[in-house]
Amino acid sequence: MAALGAQAKVFTEEHRLTYYECDRTGRATLATLIDIAILGSQDQSDALGLTTDFVQQHGVGWVVTQYAINVTRMPRLDEVVTIAVRGSAYNPYFAFREFWIRDANGEELAYITSIWVTMSQTTRKIVKINPELVAPYHSEATKRIPRLPRPISFETTADTISKPYQVRFFDIDPNRHVNNAHYFDWLLDTLPAEFLLQHDLKHVDVRYENEVKYGHTVTAEVNILPTSDAEQVTTSHRIRLGDEKCCEVTIQWQMLATPIN
Amino acid sequence: MAALGAQAKVFTEEHRLTYYECDRTGRATLATLIDIAILGSQDQSDALGLTTDFVQQHGVGWVVTQYAINVTRMPRLDEVVTIAVRGSAYNPYFAFREFWIRDANGEELAYITSIWVTMSQTTRKIVKINPELVAPYHSEATKRIPRLPRPISFETTADTISKPYQVRFFDIDPNRHVNNAHYFDWLLDTLPAEFLLQHDLKHVDVRYENEVKYGHTVTAEVNILPTSDAEQVTTSHRIRLGDEKCCEVTIQWQMLATPIN
């Protein structure tokens, strides 16, 4: 039996990382990594006639519920990367989409897996996936799609760092939803600058629970977890709106041999 | 006599507006317009050997002090625009740079003029422009460079709308400064969503006074000025850090025949 999704269509495009997509160290931000991955999937969808309008005509919209993001090396300023995406598989309720970001030599920089659902525009509830919305991807119909790792359950401690973030008009993208890549700017901004300058991001597990909306003020929280190996650090994150959990995230970091100045 | 800067080298490049560079109406954001203009000028500078490193080796950095931005039509989602830039002229202390954003037919979408100074990296004071840093642009040495319009002096009133914005780690770009295009996200986010959905931005005058830094919490303030012609609205904006003025901005808007839903 072939690997899951092996027959799905792969769409690729190139993207150059601009200065405004990179942080002060010249590394692309995590928000940018997700922004360009989703750009690839939107371009694939448009090329296959599965435009946002077409999906909406079926009374639904695609919503991502989980990401597992593996970063071999974050793309850098002015680097031209190739984004590859495929809608690999789906079962009645969940679709599994994969993304690869590669450098000019074809080396993998990042590999992203994700789980998507279709949500009714009227009831805002999850509904069965209409096969018409996935057939053009040559997605594999299957019973089981891979389970992505669940982020660590966030526990508030005396050392938890938290900051408020107000959702801005410009956080809403042309799909009329808060661009959920912006969550990563909030999540990582809670970490001290010294931490961000001393570590490379290696792996991220994300689970979205409740949508945030324009005008909301959310709280982003982080714990830097104790570790026996100072070179490998795990951080546990949560975004909440009052008592409601919006998303949980676990990030694994590698300490740099020399911190970035 | 030829027009000022007529002999200056013009650099052009194309740019496609992605979904994450556009607002929920599908129009590029003002921050994006400035981001891509500056991208063009950085690419010109790099192509001429005037890299950030080269400039820093001369002990200085370029700092923008004013923009005058004229928008015929804001670029839209997925549109491919051409960015054109030239370092038109300079006098001992000020450099004058022009930008044009054009659509696929060569029609002007936006025209931006700007005034730049070189700031000493050690004293943070404005210093005379070293001709070596402008000669490769074929900038015209002149006594007088154009004066850009001064924004309206901001006056707090009972109707002033204000919001706090904390400068985030990811607001700092690879040049190690707060990307000042992000100011526009703060400035415009203070306006009610209904206003932004009902108006097209036509002209912006910006004057930067004091730099904001990582960790600062600034206050963005706006007055929607009274008007005798409801179709033409002017807004007056200020960003301040405590009592210190960081920038003042005046924006002219055109009411849309039909508000965007």
pLDDT beyond 80 at A59: yes
Q: Alpha-carbon distance A250 to A67, whole Å?
A: 11
Cβ–Cβ gap A29/B163 under 8 Å: no
The CA distances from residue A43 to A12, A46, A55, B239, in Å, are 9, 5, 14, 38
For the cut 90, the answer to whether the pLDDT of residue A57 exceeds it is: yes
How far apart, in whole angstroms, are the C-alpha atoms of residue B224 and residue A60?
38
Q: What is the ipTM of this complex?
A: 0.95
Q: Which among A169, A174, A175 has the least Cβ separation from residue B188?
A: A169
B1 has pLDDT over 70: no
pLDDT band at B174 (very low <50, low <70, confident <90, very high): confident
What distance lies between CA A141 and its chain's CA centroid?
23
For residue A198, the surrounding DSSP H or E stretch is helix A193-198
**CA pair distance A204, A235, nearest whole angstrom:** 10
pLDDT in tens, A101-134: 999 999 999 999 999 999 999 998 999 999 999 9
Q: Which residues of A touch B193 (CB under 8 A)?
A: 169, 214
- Within 10 angstroms of residue B19's Cβ, the number of other Cβ atoms is 18
What pLDDT is attached to residue A125?
A: 93
> Distance between CA B10 and CA B39 in Å, rounded?
14
**A170/B189 touch (CB, cutoff 8 Å), yes or no:** yes
B residues 105-144 closer than 8 Å to A (CB): none
3-state secondary structure of B71: strand
Taking only the tens place, the pLDDT of each residue in A149-192 is 999 999 999 999 999 999 999 999 887 789 889 999 999 999 99
Query: Mind listing the pLDDT tens digit for each residue in A217-256?
Result: 999 999 999 999 989 999 999 999 999 999 999 999 999 9
Taking alpha carbons only, the member of A204, A209, A203, A54 closest to residue A130 is A54
* Whole-Å CA distances, B168 to A89, B173, B178: 38, 11, 9
Nearest to B193 among A35, A38, A169 (CB): A169
Of the pLDDT bands very low, low, confident and very high (cuts 50, 70, 90), residue A2 is: low
| Other C-beta atoms lying within 10 Å of the C-beta of residue A116 | 19
What local confidence, expressed as pLDDT, does residue A176 receive?
79
Is residue B69 classed as helix, strand or coil in its secondary structure? strand
For residues A75-87, average pLDDT: 98
Cβ-nearest to B19 among A19, A29, A174: A174
Nearest CA in chain A to B76: A174
Q: Which residues pair with B116 in a beta bridge?
A: B64, B95
The count of other CB atoms within 10 Å of the CB of residue A149 is 13
Q: Which domains does chain B have, with CATH numbers?
A: 1-148 (3.10.129.10), 149-261 (3.10.129.10)
